Amino acid sequence: MKRITLVITAFCALLLPLLPMAQEKKDDLLKEARELFEPIGKPPGKITDNDITPAKIELGKMLYFDPRLSSSGLISCNTCHNLGLGGDDGLPVAIGHDWKKGPRNSPTVFNSVFNAAQFWDGRAADLKEQAKGPIQAGVEMNSTPELVVATLKSIPGYKTPFEQAFGKGDTITFDNVARAIEAFEVTLITPDAPFDRYLKGDEKALTDQQKRGLKTFIDQNCASCHSGVNLGGQSYFPFGLVTKPEAKLLPTEDKGRFAVTNTAGDDYVFRAAPLRNVAITAPYFHSGQIRDLRDAVTVMATTQLGAKMNDKDIDDVAAFLNSLTGKKPVVSYPDLPPSTTKTPVPVQ
């Protein structure tokens, strides 16, 4: 018995020096992650030229769900950015007015407040500007500022919400419609993902596989484009930085940011997609042609990094990306005021 005790004691003595090393290795990964990423905190209380107030948020929610902002009376913001799904529509490209197909995949509205600019090409500086785009786009809601204002003014039930949000007077304007929608969208954040809890110090929030995936994500330089609180959404890069993707992923007619800047170097340049909730926002890329998250990881490794990840690495990174799924806000469907005989007749 004494001999067995001595053997166990000696074995333990050999292990003891390794324990601090293992702990240090864990701490190093967390430290490295904290240098690159941030957990989701509270939404901002003010955006440029827009104080975020409860009255504005409530009005914005009504407008977000109101299909009467479209000329057909059928399409709302929630149609393409469905809050019951991943804040998108799950389609390769958006389907809008008269069943027309849009040119690109609908990005998620969740956490969009953390992006440096809106749309795949960054043509909208903020959520106010973004809100105006789809309303006026012929392939989306197919309306005009004048028609939107006329419609809302014809509905008595909108008078008080606009006054509560913007004060007395002629406050039903297209600009205020956009400000209200922005105020509501600011609240559409998804905190408390496993990765958020990990960044805050709960090392058990991620599985061992997710930690391996995080390490691979960092070591393969994925974080050079996908970092910060939204893991992307801040900068622009050519799609096909190293290797040009197949034609279905990169349609030649869509030159990306070039249409905004008219600069040759911006051909096929797009905003680095924010990766929050990426596991529930398929299909992927601006063309919406990839539905499997593993396939998306493989495409990015090849086209952007020039790397060939093995199956284990791809599985690990995909597992890590699943840890970015946060808690969606609970949004009750608003009770919209009824139309009147003065409300413009929808376009059929």
CA-based nearest residue to 268, from 246, 252, 285, 284: 252
E strand intervals along the chain = 46-47, 50-51, 236-238, 269-271
Direct distance between the N- and C-terminal alpha carbons of the chain, in angstroms, rounded to an integer: 91
Beta-strand pair 46-47/50-51 = antiparallel
Cis peptide before 44 (omega within 30 of 0): no
Amino acid at 12: C
Is 140 one of the catalytic residues? yes
Query: Which tokens in the block code for residue 264?
Result: 């040759």
- What are the angstrom distances between the C-alpha of 212 and each of 38, 118, 297, 304? 19, 32, 15, 21
Residue in 38, 140, 182, 246 annotated catalytic: 140
Residues annotated catalytic, as ranges = 140
